[in-house]
Amino acid sequence: MPKNNTIQKKKYGIADGPVLIKKAGSITDELLAAVRLLPSVNKEGDSECPFAEELYAKKEKLQQEAQSFLKELDEFARWATDELACYQDNLTVILAGKEVLSNNSAINRFTAAEVKLAALAKKLANIRDQVRKAFRNLQEAIKQAAQKLFPGRIPREIPRFSHKGDITSSHNTGLTQKGHDPDDEFNQILKLDMEKRFGNRKHRLEL
């Protein structure tokens, strides 16, 4: 089979516009909030805040998500522009058709179609403008976030406690690597020592 090199454009509807605008607002607010929370760090990456690197890592993640969503907004705006061009072509056809009609009923139907299409075009144009505004706001938030960099390396989402300080380690719980209580081992050694001393005589160990 021959390969299909045609690029499939994503299909949208007018109802997708408000959804994208709302999501863009949430992403913008979240990214700007993450930027405001960033603590000061020196050239070595040290900070008075013990979670500085984690906060910078979170900001980087949100920044990448925002950058990806810019493409979504741009795609919708392009779709809306193409759709508006189609609306204009249809309006031109309707207007040309009305001019050659003499039947009032047919003219009324063309007029109704014209009004409906014009209202739809106006609504889509308004949504497209809002999407473009959301695009600019998100772009500005990304610009601010990009100026806040963790020095020396890409920040990592590191755990708050290292393995050495893990309170569940065998050393801190008092358990051996085999999972036995040291007191049990002591009791066993003492019991064996007493049996060695007193032989098989019956005795009671109060341990």
Tokens in use for 43?
Answer: 């050239």
CB atoms within 10 A of CB 198: 10
**Tens of pLDDT, residues 50-89:** 888 899 999 999 999 999 999 999 999 999 999 999 998 8
CB atoms within 10 A of CB 1: 3
How large is the average pLDDT for residues 144-168? 69
Task: Answer yes or no: is pLDDT of 178 > 90.
Answer: no
How large is the average pLDDT for residues 27-54? 91
**Tens of pLDDT, residues 11-24:** 899 999 999 999 99
Task: Answer yes or no: is pLDDT of 206 > 50.
Answer: no
Q: Residue 95 contacts by C-beta under 8 Å, 6 or more apart in sequence?
A: 114
Residue 125: C-alpha distances to residues 9, 14, 72, 83, 110 (Å): 20, 10, 17, 10, 22
- Confidence bin at 199 (pLDDT 50/70/90): low
pLDDT of residue 188: 59
Tokens in use for 116?
Answer: 């409906």
pLDDT of residue 193: 52
d(CA 190, CA 182): 12
pLDDT of residue 163: 40
> Average pLDDT of the chain?
78
